[in-house]
Structure 1
Amino acid sequence: MAAPSPNLLWKVGSGFAGAGIMAGAFGAHGLKSRGIAPESIASFQTGSHYLVFNGLALLLLSLHPRFSVHRFAGPAIAGGAFLFSGSIFALVLNRDRFKFLGPITPLGGVLMIAGYVSMVL
């Protein structure tokens, strides 16, 4: 498996940060009008926060001389953030249709953690 390029990490990080900001705005303003419960709106906000935080982390990672070409860290953080936040968004917007995604959320969290831990080792 080849390491992702720093340029790719930068683009994914920028995309995640921007998408997280947009999701946060939608969560704060658009979900109330859809009759979504406050605890589900809070979950949606958690998903948007994690997307922004991990997007910023990927931006920083892309600038690091060693970890910008790490084979596992960037892909694990990006994949984990996508699974974690994406599954939360889908569950909040249509729990009945995407019920099967419930177990994906913690797997995404574990993948993110593994990406960060891999830089310590």
Structure 2
Amino acid sequence: MSNRVALSLGAFLAAIAVALGAYAAHGLEEKILNLGYEADLARRMQWFETGVRYNLFHAIGILCAVLITELSDASQWFRAAPTLFLIGIALFSGSLYVMALGPESLRWLGAIVPLGGVAMITGWICVSCGAMASKK
């Protein structure tokens, strides 16, 4: 993905995370209760808030990796990170959002969450390898 696209996506995903965080603080509890999931309220709130937190961290990670790519001579490592972070956000945070708001029949998405975590971890490993490979 080009740096321009990655920078735009990172900023957009950060904005989405902030908006979802505000929703979690001011409207999510009522929404979960209105959906009839009061027995699972605390767990669903926790899933959503965890999704928001990792969404924001990795949106910022995308922005940082793009900026480092522009400044580094080890850009192949840094170029892989935004794509991995994007995949991680989609799988990890996206699955948690759906699990928080969706019916019990979607709990199988919990099996996808760790795949998103692996993508995020791999992205950070790419950043680390890029730092070690850089001559600057």
Q: TM-score interval w.r.t. the shorter chain? A: 0.7 to 0.9
Unaligned runs of 5+ in 2: 130-136
When the two chains are superposed, the root-mean-square deviation of aligned CA atoms in Å is 1.8
2:66 to 38, 62, 65: 62
Q: Does residue 26 in structure 1 map to residue 23 in structure 2?
A: yes
Counterpart-to-counterpart distance in 2, 1:112 and 1:91: 19
| Structure 1 partner of 2:120 | 112
State TM-score, norm by structure 2. Answer: 0.78
For 2:79 and 2:115, the matched residues in 1 are separated by 19
Letter in 1 for 2:53: H
Equivalent in 111, 114, 118 of residue 103 of structure 1: 111
Runs of 4+ in 1 over 6 A off after TM superposition: none
Corresponding residue pairs, total: 118
User: Max radius of gyration: which structure?
Assistant: 2
Provide the residue aligned with 2:132 in structure 1: none
Q: Which moved more, 1:86-95 or 1:55-64?
A: 55-64
SS at match of 2:104: coil
Identity, % of aligned positions: 31
TM value normalised by structure 1: 0.87
1:5 touches 1:68 (CA, 8 Å); kept in 2?
A: no
Q: Which residue identity is paired with 1:85?
A: S
- 1:87 aligned to which of 83, 87, 95: 95
